[in-house]
């Protein structure tokens, strides 16, 4: 078993649909009709784990980031 530092990176992709509601009309009050449009988004989650960085506990340092495409 090596004590050299190493890193693992996991990238996950998720597809997400949601309905966006927009009011149509010049004053956008409740008496105006609504427009519904489906929006497709891709969510990317990146998880990085750094191991053996010299800390006594030995637990990895985990960082998670996400972005929508």
> What does the pLDDT look like over 40-68, one tens digit per residue?
889 999 999 998 877 666 788 899 999 99
**How many CA within 13 A on the CB side of residue 32?**
11
Give the integer Cα–Cα distance in Å for 54 and 4: 9
Which phi and psi angles does 13 have, rounded to 5°? Answer: -120, 130
pTM of the model: 0.62
Pick 2 or 54 by higher pLDDT.
54
Calculated CA dihedral for residues 22, 27, 31, 34, nearest 10 degrees: -10
């Amino acid at each position: 078993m090596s004590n050299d530092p190493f890193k693992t990176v996991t990238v996950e992709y998720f597809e997400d649909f949601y309905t966006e509601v927009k009011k149509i009309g010049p004053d956008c009050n409740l008496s105006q009709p609504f427009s519904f449009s489906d929006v497709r988004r891709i969510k990317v989650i990146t998880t990085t784990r750094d191991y053996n960085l010299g800390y006594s506990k030995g637990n990895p340092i985990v960082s998670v980031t996400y972005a929508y495409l």
